[in-house]
Structure 1
Amino acid sequence: MKNRLNELRRGSWSMPGGKQKLAVLEEMIGIADRYLTEEDAYDTRMSYMTAALEAGCREKVLVAFAWCLSKFEKTPGDYSQHTLMWHYKWVLNEIWRMPEFGLELIERVYEDFKQKCLKFGYNLRPYYQQKVNFTLSQGMISEAAEFYKLWRSTPRDSLADCKACEQNLFGEYMFKINHLKKGLQNVRPILDGKMRCGSIPQNTYSQIIVPLLKLKDYQQASAIAKKAMRLLKGPQFVEEYGTFLEFFTVTDLPKAVKIYNETIRYGLESKVGWDRFHYFLSVRIFLREWNKKKRRKKLVEADRVTLDWLDHEISSITDSFNRRNGNTYMSRFVLEQEKNTNRLMKAYQETRLTKATTDGILF
């Protein structure tokens, strides 16, 4: 069976990310659990976590990691501390996205990661980084600001994300607290081509198009959006697809139709509440614009994805997060996002009308 495991592993290396690759790795886990060593089962699950993220199955990362963490804690000398801790960062970034997990459990997971950092000789820079994301997701702006300061002031070590990824996240933080110009300053080295990695600059593009829209830099926003959409492929980008859907609903409805038709099944298949929430908010904005006129063309999943269905789904997810977080931040987020989008649409249409009028006078 070892030969079969190796055969499947070699085949998986050339496979694109997706559910087929995930199925191959699940077969590998079954073989390792039944016939091979615990070390084989551990290593296979480590590879499986990467494949699960690529396939958009974030929830499966937590199950695989819990198994590996249990084995590591029983015999820590048998496995790489650094590899485990690197994957642990993924868990911190995923667990709060699922409202099924309560705050008490999430805080215990974060605390366990923190204590392991100290025990294994790492500093707390990645811990503070992850706490920024977690507190922002609850609308805790002042707490996030404190963790952001700690993150920036703590020296980098081998557990920190690469410099390009961190620079991108500095910009993301500023955008989320609506400091748009500071956010653009932070990502400028990335946009200028001075910093890059396997996921940067493509991850940066989806973050900056709406801030550019708010700043009325329509030309740069459109150029970046068109470039970025060529780089995003696969089910792991559900939240990002929502951002582009919102952007093109404002600026180019036919392009928004194309994005919707290509991505709606990814949104429907996602089991992660945070991703579904943001994606479906954008779908609702798009569908409201689409429904303003009678259309001959029928959208993908039109019988299922209606405005009534979206209202119910968004309300259900919002309530789940509000109960988990013990506040009404997500409800306020929904209202604010809709107001912002309406303002963006009005500003963009006024700019187009002014340009059309000017062009008419000139010619």
Structure 2
Amino acid sequence: MNYEDKIKELVFKAYDYMDVHKYSLCVPLLEKAVSIARENNDILNEMYCKFDLITAYVFSNQAKKAMITFFWCVSQMEKGYTNDEVVYQVIWEYKYILSNMCDYLVIPNEKINETFEKMKNFYLENNISLSPYYSLKVEACQSGIEDGTSIEEYYQKWLTTPVDHKYEDCTACTINKKVDYYIFIGDYEKALRQAKDILNGKFKCGEVPSTTFANLLIPVYSLGKYELAEEFHKKGLRAINENKGLITCTPNHIMYLSITNIEKGIEVFQKNYATLFKNEDDTTTMWFNAACYALFYNIYKKGIENIKLKLPKDSPIYCNDDYDIKTLKEYFFNETEKFMNAFNKKNGNHIISEFLKTHLKVCGC
């Protein structure tokens, strides 16, 4: 078997895992394929494998590696290693990368805006609709990344720009992004109406409706639609348990349980803590800390002083005795404040912290 056949064999095995959303199992196969291509100085094949690897990294919550891999591919393309397939992949991967860059405190906003500008120019050079660009700009505004244009203006540009279906998100993801926009601006009723064709099962994908359920939990509860919120929680948590790639939805469920079912909240916290306290994405880490703060704050309000927990020994809150509720509450409060302040300083605004606080307020914090 020559090296190209070995690469194909590894890539096809990885595709089998991708088909069932087991992205973490794709990673070692694709990394091996990349290594074989590199050993044979086959830059184009290395790029093809890395494009698949970017997808696997993103959907297995390893976005840092995805970014490094993507920028390497772009640098090779700029050196002349390009063809129609490379251009197609770069157009797509820009969307994956920019949808994750805003979640990392270590990435300066200047780098994010520079990448947006490169995406825009690359799309224009290849006569591609800017609809995905405007969609990502709406997301960036929600993450506090400002450039002088309002989120409302970017949203309208997204809605009114003709689409290029070859490079558009699936219908479920497109609707989900619109739902997120209305949640962000505080129009929860409109968010719920926008989600109609997701909630009735007409449109779905690997992440939707799970992310929709999670993001609507606190808004729907705040509207007094308690039965609907409970339905979203049960369906969403079931999906997370079946697909660990959705674990970033967990904080929303812990927040919800902090006001509806503390015992269940403790169970979900214990089950997911080992993974989430090591999570590399700062936005998810901040929301997880905030959700845990809400949980232990509400336990503390009930007059409970100590609790038995099974947590990993390498965690920063581990102890070999019963856990003090006040200590846990204060720890997660301080961690939440630390991340909120860091994002506020990085962005030069309070967009992220104010949005998070609207959720904590519903939780009684």
In the TM superposition, 1:55-66 aligns within 5 A as 55-66=60-71
CA contact (8 A) 2:7 2:36 kept: yes
> Aligned partners of 2:198 and 2:153: how far apart in 1?
25
Residues 251-266 of structure 1 aligned to structure 2 (within 5 Å)? 251-266=260-275
1:219 aligned residue: 227
Contact 1:135 / 1:143 at 8 angstroms: preserved in 2?
Answer: yes
2:197 is equivalent to residue 189 of structure 1: yes
Listed as ranges, the gaps of 5+ residues in structure 1 are 344-363
Q: From the superposition, tell whether residues 165 and 334 of structure 1 become closer, same or farther in structure 2 (CA, over 3 Å).
A: closer
Q: SS of the counterpart of 1:161?
A: coil
1:144 aligns with one of 128, 144, 151: 151
The CA deviation string for residues 138-174 of structure 1, in whole angstroms up to 9 with x for no partner, is: 1869710110011111112122212222112111100
Q: Which is further off, 47-56 or 191-200?
A: 191-200
1:79 and 1:73, CA in 2 relative to 1: closer, same or farther beyond 3 A? Answer: farther
CA contact (8 A) 1:171 1:183 kept: yes
Equivalent pair of 1:249/1:289 in contact (CA under 8 Å): yes
Assess if the C-alpha contact under 8 Å between 1:18 and 1:234 holds in 2: no
Q: Aligned runs of 1:82-161 on 2, under 5 Å?
A: 82-138=88-144, 143-157=150-164, 158-161=166-169
Question: Within the alignment, does 1:327 sit opposite 2:349 as a pair?
Answer: yes
User: Which residue in the other structure is 2:216 paired with?
Assistant: 208
SS in 1 for 2:283: helix
SS state of the match for residue 12, structure 1? Answer: helix
The answer to whether the Cα contact below 8 Å between 1:98 and 1:273 also exists between their aligned partners in 2 is: yes
1:1-363 alignment to 2 at 5 Å?
1-15=3-17, 17=22, 19-75=24-80, 76-77=82-83, 79-138=85-144, 143-157=150-164, 158-232=166-240, 233-291=242-300, 292-295=303-306, 297-301=308-312, 304-305=316-317, 306-342=328-364
| Residue identity in the other structure for 1:326 | G
- Take 1:330 and 1:113, find their aligned partners in 2: how far apart are those partners? 24
Cα shift readout 1:104-127 (whole Å, capped 9, x = no counterpart):
111110011011111111121111
Counterpart CA distance in 2 for 1:309 and 1:26 is 38
Is contact 2:74-2:90 (8 Å) kept? yes
Q: CA deviation at 1:318?
A: 2.4
In the TM superposition, residue 10 of structure 1 has moved relative to its aligned partner by 3.6
Q: Deviations over 1:58-96 (max 9, x none)?
A: 111101101111122222336332221111111111111
Could you list the runs of 5+ residues in structure 2 that have no partner in the other structure?
A: 318-327
Aligned length: 343
Q: Distance in 1 between matches of 2:8 and 2:167?
A: 30
Distance 1:209 1:313 in 2: 23
Deviations 1:199-253 (A, max 9, x none): 3323321122222101111111111210111112455434311001111111111
Share of identical aligned residues, percent? 22
Q: Is contact 2:104–2:281 with CA below 8 Å preserved after alignment? A: yes
Please tell me the residue identity of whatever aligns with 2:336.
I
- Give, in whole Å, the separation in 2 of the partners of 1:312 and 1:8: 45
Q: CA RMSD in A?
A: 2.4
**Structure 2 Cα separation of the partners of residues 114 and 295 of structure 1:** 54
SS state at 2:272 partner:
helix
Is the partner of 2:106 in helix, strand or coil? coil
Q: 1:277 deviation in Å?
A: 1.0
